[in-house]
């Protein structure tokens, strides 16, 4: 059976406090059991008020110093650092941090695109909760069982370009474990753990970027074990990460 | 319009010299203009004879030393090193190399799964050419214009699990460039380059892993600029890679 990835555009620009569930169900009438809804981080951040007016930010000495060295905005650097556990790499004005959630990404996920000038969004504070709240709302309205993934666009080492990855999940495990499963020759498989929610986010991105104002995608016909996963399962531990 | 990802299983275990184009067109009759065919690296390597019997390998002193330190097979280590430009990380028996193509991955992509015991496959020597040859064959038989991506499963820093990524392309650019494009507020977009062929490989993997003996997937309704890309465009240059 073929997998379907359906873009769900909306007409409204999302504001703080908006009813995202209502916006989704108005735009997509045909929700079915087993559907996976992928949501762009940006609309979650806007809806949750995770947005800052840079003019209101008072940068620290550190932020002023870094900004002057790399010709960047000290107020934006301040927001980036305030969202970080630590700086992972700092070179040529590129700031790679570990966010408070444990994600390693550029600028702590702080982002000025698709916003009024002078504003920046931060990642949701608890993206698993954002996913769960949205899923509960959908399931109450539709009486269908769905999984929800919050997605953001991250760069990566070694390879050019960005891909969409999961930053919050509800009802699906981030990693599908093949451990102990045998291959066609009866040997234990080398690849034991597929980052299925990251691949689902990548698939969603393929339709979202081609459609104007499209913060949602629905993925249908993907069979998965319904499970109370948390995104922390995808964060590589210090012990197994050779690139910290 | 929704994106479709269609698994294409085959009945035969691929051997050196097999007619992959013939196998594909027997298994999938409905090829259309604009379809993207994703092929698992493993069948390309088998078909091209990129397979080695470990008993025939004579390990170097270096391979013997590394194998003894990490309790691994010196013959397998020899194959891994012979496929590498350099070792990127070596820790707890995990060998991350840069392959001769420039990919950074575990074990130079050398893999023992889905093979007779005692054998290992290596990555295709020129995966772009593998993609191009396959595409030419399909286009000759079907008179439809297709793109082809060769896909392999790589781990990555920071995040647990593996995802499928592109290692060879024909007829599609690895990176879709949004540079200079404006967002909904007229600002230049922060995300300027989407690794579309990696996301397409991830989408393909979602159906391939759920289907027995499924080395192919067809992706339909993805609009892209037909272009003579090469996979080298996705290899991050030393200058912009902070994690070498």
Query: What is the band of A242 on the pLDDT scale with cuts at 50, 70, 90?
Result: confident
Domain count for chain A: 2
Nearest to B202 among A104, A157, A202 (CB): A202
Same domain (yes/no): B171, B200:
yes
B11 lies within 8 A of chain A by CB:
no
Q: Are residues A169 and A116 in the same domain?
A: no
Say what the pLDDT of residue B78 is: 98
Same-domain pairing of A148 and A229: yes
pLDDT on residue A160: 95
Residues B77 and B95 in one domain: yes
What is the CATH number for B94? 3.90.1660.10
Where among B99, B120, B141 does a domain terminate? B120
Question: Is the CB of A2 inside 8 Å of chain B's CB atoms?
Answer: yes
Query: Is B241 inside a domain boundary?
Result: no
Region B63-82: what's the mean pLDDT? Answer: 95
Q: How confident is the model at residue B69 (pLDDT cuts 50, 70, 90)?
A: very high
Q: Tell me the DSSP string of A45-109.
A: HHHTT-EEEGGG----HHHHHHHHHHT--HHHHHHHHHTEEEEEEEETTEEEEEETTS-EEEGGG
Q: Are B161 and B50 in contact (CB under 8 A)?
A: no
> For residue B33, what is the domain's CATH number?
3.30.1330.100
Q: Would an 8 Å CB–CB cutoff place A85 in contact with chain B?
A: no
The pLDDT value given to residue A92: 79
Whether residues A137 and A70 share a domain: the answer is no
Report d(CA A59, CA A76) in Å as an integer.
8
Q: Residue B239: inside a domain, yes or no?
A: no
Residues A151 and A188 in one domain: yes
pLDDT in tens, B85-124: 999 999 878 899 999 999 999 999 999 888 889 999 999 9
**pLDDT(A179) > 80:** no
Final residue of a domain: which of B120, B135, B166? B120
Q: Judge whether B225 is closer than 8 Å to chain A, CB to CB.
A: no
Query: Which of B 149-178 lie inside 8 A of A, CB atoms?
Result: 153, 156-165, 174-176, 178
Residues A36, A131: one domain? yes
**What domain range includes position A115?**
52-120
User: Residue B219 falls within a domain, yes or no?
Assistant: yes
Q: Are residues A164 and A91 in the same domain?
A: no
- Examine the pLDDT at A72 and tell me if it is beyond 60: yes
Q: Give residue A182's pLDDT band: very low, low, confident or very high (50, 70, 90).
A: low
- Does this model's pTM top 0.90? My answer is yes
Domain end marker among A99, A120, A141: A120
For A233, what's the count of Cα atoms within 13 Å in the CB-facing half-sphere?
21
Please check whether residues B30 and B130 belong to one and the same domain: yes
Q: Which of A 190-219 lie inside 8 A of B, CB atoms?
A: 190-191, 193-196, 198-200, 202-203, 205-207, 209-210, 212-213
Q: What are the two backbone dihedrals, phi and then psi, of residue B221, each rounded to the nearest 5 degrees? A: 75, 25
What's the average model confidence in pLDDT over A122-132?
Answer: 98
Task: Indicate whether B83 belongs to any domain.
Answer: yes
- Are residue A100 and residue A32 in the same domain, yes or no? no
Check whether residue B132 and residue B205 sit in a common domain.
Answer: yes
Parallel, antiparallel, or unpaired for β A119-121 and B163-170?
Answer: unpaired
Kindly state whether residue A15 falls inside one of the protein's structural domains. Answer: yes
State whether A109 and A203 are in the same domain.
no
CB contact under 8 A, B203 and A198: no
Q: Is residue A241 part of a domain?
A: no
Residue with tokens 């291959």: A183
| A113 belongs to a structural domain | yes
Share of chain A above pLDDT 70, in %: 95
Does residue B186 carry a pLDDT above 70?
Answer: no
Strands B36-40 and B147-154: parallel
B45 belongs to a structural domain: yes
């Amino acid at each position: 059976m073929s997998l379907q990835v359906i873009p769900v555009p909306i007409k409204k620009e999302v504001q703080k406090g908006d009813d995202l569930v209502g916006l989704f169900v108005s735009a997509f009438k045909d929700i079915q059991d087993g559907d996976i809804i992928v949501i762009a981080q940006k609309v979650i951040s806007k809806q949750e008020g995770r947005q800052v007016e840079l003019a209101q930010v008072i940068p620290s000495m550190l932020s002023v110093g870094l900004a002057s060295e790399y010709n960047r905005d000290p107020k934006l650097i301040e927001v980036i650092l305030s969202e970080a556990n630590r700086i992972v790499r700092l070179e040529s004005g590129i700031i790679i941090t570990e966010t408070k959630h444990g994600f390693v990404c550029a600028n702590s996920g702080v982002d000025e695109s698709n916003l009024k000038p002078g504003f920046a969004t931060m990642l949701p504070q608890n993206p698993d909760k954002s996913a769960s709240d949205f899923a509960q709302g959908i399931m109450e309205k539709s009486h269908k069982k769905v999984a929800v993934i919050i997605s953001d666009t991250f760069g990566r080492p070694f390879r050019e370009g960005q891909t969409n990855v999961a930053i919050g999940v509800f009802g699906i495990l981030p990693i599908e474990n093949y451990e102990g499963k045998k291959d066609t020759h009866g040997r234990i498989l080398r690849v034991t753990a597929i980052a299925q929610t990251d691949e689902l986010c990548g698939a969603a991105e393929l339709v979202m970027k081609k459609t104007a104002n499209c913060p949602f995608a629905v993925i249908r016909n993907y069979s998965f074990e319904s499970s109370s996963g948390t995104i922390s399962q995808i964060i590589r531990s210090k012990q197994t990460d050779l690139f910290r």
